[in-house]
Homo-oligomer: A and B are copies of this chain.
C-alpha cells in the first residue's frame, strides 16, 4: 500500500467518523440541539477538523441525507417503471426497497423520516432544500404510479391514487416509529412482520376480489 493510498484511506475513515457521529447525534437529539462540538467530541477530533471536511453544519447534514435518499429514490423509480410486473408485486417490491434502505442505513432513514422542512428552511440553502423536497416527493410519486397502474389494469378499486400512496407511505413510517419504541422497552422485534401485515391490509382494502 502506497503512502497516498493510506492517506486517502485515512481521510475516508475520518469522514466516515464524522458522518457516523453526526448521524447518531442528529437522530438522538435532533439537528438544532446537536452542536458541532458534540459531533467532534463523539468523533474524537477537534471542532476545526469537522470544518476541514464539511463547509458548514447544514452541509454536513445534507451530505448525510442526500446520497441515501437519492439511492432510495432511484430504486423506487426503477421499481415503478417495471410495467410488466403486476402492481401488487411492485408495491411489495417498493416496500421491500424502503425496508432494505431502513435496515442498511437506519440513521439516514431516521433523518429522512423526521425531516421537517420548517426547521431547515433557515439553515439549508434554497437549492439544497428544494432538492431534498423533490426527492421526498418523488418517492410518493412512484408509489402513486404503481397504484395508478393497478387501477387502470383493473386490479384495484377506483381511488385517488395519491391518497392511496400516502396511506402506504405514512403507515410504513408510523409502524417503524412505533415498533422502535417497543424495541427500546426490550420487547420482541416485530418490525418486518408488522410492516407486512399492514401492507396486506391496505392492499386488501384497495383490491377488487
Q: Which residues of A contact B (CB under 8 A)?
A: 27-30, 32-33, 114, 116, 118-119, 121-122, 140, 157, 159-160, 162-164, 166-167, 169-171, 173-175, 178, 194, 197-198, 201-206, 209
- Chain B residues, Cβ within 8 Å of A173: 170, 174
Supply 12 A–B pairs (Cβ within 8 Å), ascending by A.
Answer: A27-B118, A28-B118, A33-B118, A114-B116, A160-B197, A163-B175, A166-B198, A167-B167, A167-B201, A202-B205, A204-B206, A205-B206
In whole angstroms, what is the CA distance A159 to B205 when docked? 13
Collect the chain B residues with CB atoms within 8 Å of residue A174's CB: 166-167, 169-171, 173-174
Q: Given A28-B118, A30-B118, A119-B32, verify A167-B160 contact (CB < 8 Å).
A: no
